Amino acid sequence: MQQTLLSRWEGALLGSCLPWMGNVSEGAQVESWYERQNQAIQALAETGQWQGGINWKGYTTSEIILSCLPLILFFNDQPETWGEQLSAIAQQKNESSLATAAILAYATAITWGTSEKLPGNTLFKKLRKDLDEDSSGNGNVLTMLQNSLEQEATLQEIKLKLPSTCQDIWLALYCFATTSENLALSVRRVKASEGSNSIILALVGALSGVHNGVNAIPVPWRCLLQKERTEWKQKLRLMWATWSGNYHFPGQANFDEHLDVNAMAIAPCGVIQPRRQKP
């Protein structure tokens, strides 16, 4: 199931906007992280650097993750960079160690999705192994989720077992893991679950979008979100070009002649066009 890196980036961002789809009541909440995403895409495209000094007051942990999606996507091959940034934000918000670990677990899953390494049926086992979650206190949560996944437990059953800290994040990860290859089914499962909310839907949409690519989002849904997609589509291409070293600010745009060919090449990131380090 190979997808272009651009398709995965676009899938993640458009997936995070799915609560906006035909639901006016969710508009204000989605607008908050959507605007932050737009600002981040612009900054990363122009400078290749994450924007600092942001005030996260009033943002929940899940909203911070959604706002920081461009950061995670842009530095998908440099997890230490987004790890430092997200940890700093967590400290600014005085998040608990459990919440910080949940943030890093979700961001790690997004990163795996950009390189076709995001598993479905072994997601929580892999997270526990790779992130040493025993030391964070989330080890038991991950073990419970993995066991529940193997037993095909429902979202409602999982919700009763999860701690209140970052429950939205864990539910989103679990929902994705149960139907990782089918974005539409994952979305419908969230909507059908009692007590589900727009945050869970956005988190699931981003995970499934990065894993399956933008073309996995049904055409009618993409049409409903066409305005949002159009607003950042070109900026996202510039962000990819900056990531790959094909485009340089400031001054007049200077595209490498192979930009379009490389951007559309079907391969995991780093195979066709690895990141070029600045001298």
Q: What are the pLDDT tens digits along the chain (279 aa)?
A: 568 888 999 999 999 988 877 554 555 667 888 888 999 998 998 888 888 778 888 888 999 999 999 999 999 989 999 999 999 998 888 888 888 889 999 999 999 999 888 888 899 999 988 887 555 567 788 989 999 999 999 888 998 988 888 899 999 999 999 999 999 999 888 888 766 688 999 999 999 999 999 999 999 998 888 877 887 888 888 888 888 776 555 443 444 444 554 555 444 444 445 555 544
Residue that has been written with the tokens 């070029």 in this structure: 276
Model pLDDT, residue 116? 83
Crossing angle for the helix pair 97-114 and 198-212, nearest 10 degrees?
A: 30
Note whether 199 and 103 are within 8 A (CB).
no
Stated pTM of the model: 0.86
Model pLDDT, residue 107? 96
Model pLDDT, residue 267? 46
Model pLDDT, residue 22? 56
Neighbouring CB atoms inside 10 A of 128's CB total 21
